[in-house]
Chain A
Amino acid sequence: MRGAPVRHERSIGSRRRVRVGPLFRKSIQMTAELQSYTIDPVQEPAEREDVRRFLAVCGLDYEAGVQAFVVFRRGNALVACAGLEKNIVKCAAIAPDLRGESLGLTLLTEVSHLAHERGHSHLFLYTKPDCVEFFRACGFYLLAEVPDLVALMENTPIGIRTYCDRLKRLRQPGATIGAIVMNANPFTRGHRYLVERAAAACDWLHVFVVAEDVSLISYRDRYALVSAGIADVPHTTLHHGSEYMVSRATFSAYFLKEKGLVENCCTAIDLLIFRNHIAPALGITHRFVGTEPFCPTTFKYNADMREWLMGDVSPAPTVEMVEIARTECEEVPISASEVRRLLAADDFAHIRRLVPPATLQLLEAKYRAPRISAA
């Protein structure tokens, strides 16, 4: 017997009976009723290990970032589960012998309500391309797909369309329309240089600031610094980022069994959404990036960009990728990661040379590393 774990949230602990469709009554475990409930994997290790074993049987890895699972049991047997990491549905699986009996609809209903209770109405879901049809029936719509490997879906038929309709209103005329997506964590002289060079090469330049608030410098501050830092660059529009570009949703490392392949794909999904949806909405023909000497993630992203924006991998027009060599300070390329390193070392003498005055001011006022007081 499993013990009754401590349950916390309102939804947690409501061990509710779920309507069982006529097909279920024919299945082997006729007498056992289907039960669903929510678990917190951190608080309930026994349940968590059960989920881990179940996912392994279904060919999926357990993902540590999942904050809550909806679990279905028939009798004592775990027969379906789905996890939530904020607004991303992960680790959704149904026991092989129960597939094709509409349990998926029940599972995704429960997940939708759980997510809503947790404050997330716009959901994303990664799956294998051959499951896209299944999740389509559960109210999820395809955003981008890397054939044979991975697909990203969202739970609204109008999500990306509404976003792109808003972008279309900001379209500018011209033959060469550029785009830069930057995290600007924080905004440096290097970012300024990249924007200047790109703007000079285009009829119009669209600059997006990554909106995901997981960086050292808050989104609000990053956006304000970029805004101040490029205000005088002509023919440039600054955009707020969105969940559709370099967000946890589009850029999530999704671990299926073939890890190497899927890690490749997480950049592919983000870049395909850019090429298939965002670039056509604004008429973007070129995407500009700075060369990346330090950060391996950005380096890889830049390398993948060539393939997914310019390769023969999508029916959408290609977006030319333009890599601009970073501007240097004393022969060292300026990079935000270097600024963060200097910030941690409280080396403001060096930071001063790499960032514009507004960034320096903000870093000194808000992000100065706490000094270790000499006792």
Chain B
Amino acid sequence: MKIVREALAGTLESSDLMVRIAPREGELAIVLQSEVIHQFGPQIEAVVRGCLAKLGIAEALVVIEDKGALDCVIAARVQTAVSRAVDAWTADWSVLS
């Protein structure tokens, strides 16, 4: 799928995260800010990258403000942001979880 517009998902509340996604040519750039970045930074980024790979997103700018969300929450917020940023959702929900 192709990111065609900017989209926003999530909140800044504790145990949640806010995901901003925007079109970007030629690369997948992830900018991560997290309250727990020292402990879980690489893990959060792996979840985000894995989630985007399953959705077939190879080009995007993703900016994340994390407040200590669990992996399942991270995946859900990323999926929602993507669903709002594409024109046609072609991914199979059943393989996403």
B12-20, B42-50, B87-95: which lies at the A interface?
B12-20
Chain A 246-279 interface residues, beta-carbon cutoff 8 Å to B: none
B63 touches A157 (CB 8 A): yes
B12 touches A21 (CB 8 A): no
Q: In the bound complex, what is the Cα–Cα distance between A121 and B20 (angstroms)? A: 9
Q: In the bound complex, what is the Cα–Cα distance between A116 and B14 (angstroms)? A: 21
B12 touches A138 (CB 8 A): yes
B33 touches A139 (CB 8 A): yes
B63 touches A106 (CB 8 A): no
Q: In the bound complex, what is the Cα–Cα distance between A102 and B31 (angstroms)? A: 24
B8 touches A102 (CB 8 A): no
Which chain A residue has the least Cβ–Cβ distance from B65?
A139
Question: What's the A-B contact tally at a CB cutoff of 8 Å?
Answer: 43
B6 touches A121 (CB 8 A): yes
Judged by a CB distance under 8 angstroms, whether A113 is at the interface is: yes
Judged by a CB distance under 8 angstroms, whether B74 is at the interface is: no
Interface residues on B, range: 10 to 19
Judged by a CB distance under 8 angstroms, whether A108 is at the interface is: yes
A109 touches B33 (CB 8 A): no
Judged by a CB distance under 8 angstroms, whether B22 is at the interface is: yes
Q: In the bound complex, what is the Cα–Cα distance between A21 and B22 (angstroms)? A: 31
Residues from chain B with a CB closer than 8 A to the CB of A121 are: 6, 8, 20, 22
Contact flag A19-B12 (CB < 8 Å), given A121-B20, A156-B63, A157-B33:
no
Q: Which of A19, A113, A156, A158 contacts B13 (CB 8 A)?
A: A19
Q: Which of B8, B13, B63 contacts A116 (CB 8 A)?
A: B8
Residues from chain B with a CB closer than 8 A to the CB of A158 are: 31, 63
Residues from chain A with a CB closer than 8 A to the CB of B18 are: 109, 112, 139
Which chain A residue has the least Cβ–Cβ distance from B10?
A109
Judged by a CB distance under 8 angstroms, whether A105 is at the interface is: yes
Q: Which of A109, A116, A156 contacts B11 (CB 8 A)?
A: A109
Interface of B with A (CB < 8 Å)? 6-8, 11-14, 18, 20, 22, 31, 33, 63, 65, 67
Interface of A with B (CB < 8 Å)? 19, 21, 102, 105-106, 108-109, 112-113, 116, 121, 137-139, 156-158
A-B pairs with the 3 shortest C-beta distances?
A105-B12, A139-B65, A109-B11
Given A105-B14, A109-B18, A138-B12, 12 more pairs with CB closer than 8 A:
A19-B13, A102-B13, A105-B67, A109-B12, A112-B8, A116-B8, A121-B8, A121-B20, A137-B12, A139-B65, A157-B31, A157-B63
The 28 sampled A-B contact pairs (Cβ below 8 Å) are: A19-B13, A21-B13, A21-B14, A102-B14, A105-B12, A105-B14, A106-B11, A106-B12, A108-B12, A109-B11, A109-B12, A109-B18, A112-B8, A112-B12, A112-B18, A116-B6, A121-B8, A121-B22, A137-B12, A138-B12, A139-B12, A139-B18, A139-B33, A139-B65, A156-B31, A156-B63, A157-B63, A158-B31
